[in-house]
Amino acid sequence: MAELANCSRCGAVFVKNIRDICQECYKEEEKAFNVVYSFLRKRENREATLTEIVDATGIEEKLIIKFIKEKRLRTSQFPKLAYPCERCGKNIVTGKLCESCSQEILQDLEEQEKLEQRQLAREEAEAKKNIYYSIDSRNKNQ
């Protein structure tokens, strides 16, 4: 059954299939991709940075980043083509975070996990302190 959705670019209602944008916006994106790709295919433009491409083509930076993330523009072919890390803004060519931000987040997670383990150990030790044993003298003689 077909699913209706709003286009994430223009807000128009369309029948959702593979993409999250309507057919009109998809055509516009394809035109924009062709402009960017034809710019980069020229030998003198192959080492252009993201800002240079935006300035030369007039295509939104966000859209060019989308093309890179979708691997339609490959950083192996265009070596200076990078986009900013979502956390610190450092230029990266894959993923959402740079290596240093990823490492920092992993360290924070490990530290949090150690804190939780210590807290759990403290709670278990506290629970053991409060256990009382009683001896039933009536059952000794039996």
Query: What does the domain layout of the chain look like in residue ranges?
Result: 23-97
Average of per-residue pLDDT across 18-39: 91
Supply the pTM of this predicted model.
0.68
Highest mean pLDDT among 2-11, 18-27, 97-106: 97-106
Looking at residue 133, its pLDDT comes to 66
Highest mean pLDDT among 10-14, 33-37, 71-75: 33-37
Looking at residue 123, its pLDDT comes to 86
Give whole-number Cα distances, 13 to 16, 27, 28, 66, in Å.
9, 16, 17, 22
Listed in sequence order, the residues at least 6 apart from 12 whose beta carbon sits closer than 8 Å to its beta carbon are 6, 22, 24, 25
